[in-house]
C-alpha cells in the first residue's frame, strides 16, 4: 500500500500531532513498513489455533467483597458544613 504525504498529515491531525515537512518522508516509510508487517501476519494460518486471552496465566488477585458496617453515620457527618436527613447537603449544580 502506498502512503502519501496527505495520509501522514491526516493521521497526524487525528492524533493531534504537529509534524514538520522533513519528518514526513520518514513517517511515510515507517507507516508503510508497519502495513507490510501486518500483511505478513495476515498470511499466517490460524485456522485451528484457539484464541489466547492472556499471554501468561492470569488470576484475579482482588480480595473478596465483604460487607461491613465500620463507620458511624453521625461521626462521618460531624464535619460536614451542611447536612440534611443524614446525608451531605451540597449546592445544586444542574438547573
pLDDT per position as a tens digit, 8-23: 999 999 999 999 989 9
Q: CA 41 to CA 89: how far, in whole Å?
A: 58
Predicted TM-score (pTM) of this structure:
0.49
Which helix H or strand E contains 27, and what residues bound it? helix 21-42
Q: Return the biggest CA–CA distance within the chain.
A: 69
30 vs 51, which has greater pLDDT?
A: 30
Rounded CA-CA distance 72/75 in Å is 5
For the stretch 32-76, pLDDT in tens is 999 999 999 889 998 888 887 777 877 888 888 888 878 888 888
Cell numbers found for residue 24: 514526513
Res 50: pLDDT: 85
Can you give the residue ranges of every domain in the chain?
A: 5-42
Predicted pLDDT at 62: 87
Do the Cβ atoms of 34 and 8 come closer than 8 Å?
Answer: no
Check residue 11 and give its pLDDT.
93
What pLDDT does residue 17 have?
A: 94
Amino acid at each position: 500500500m502506498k502512503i502519501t504525504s496527505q495520509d501522514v498529515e491526516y493521521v497526524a491531525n487525528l492524533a493531534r500531532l504537529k509534524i514538520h515537512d522533513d519528518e514526513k518522508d520518514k513517517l511515510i516509510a515507517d507507516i508503510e513498513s508497519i502495513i507490510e508487517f501486518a500483511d505478513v501476519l495476515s498470511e499466517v494460518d490460524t485456522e485451528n489455533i484457539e484464541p489466547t486471552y492472556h499471554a501468561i496465566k492470569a488470576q484475579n488477585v482482588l480480595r473478596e467483597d465483604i460487607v461491613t458496617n465500620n463507620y458511624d453515620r453521625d461521626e462521618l457527618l460531624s464535619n460536614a458544613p451542611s447536612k440534611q436527613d443524614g446525608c451531605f447537603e451540597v449546592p445544586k449544580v444542574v438547573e
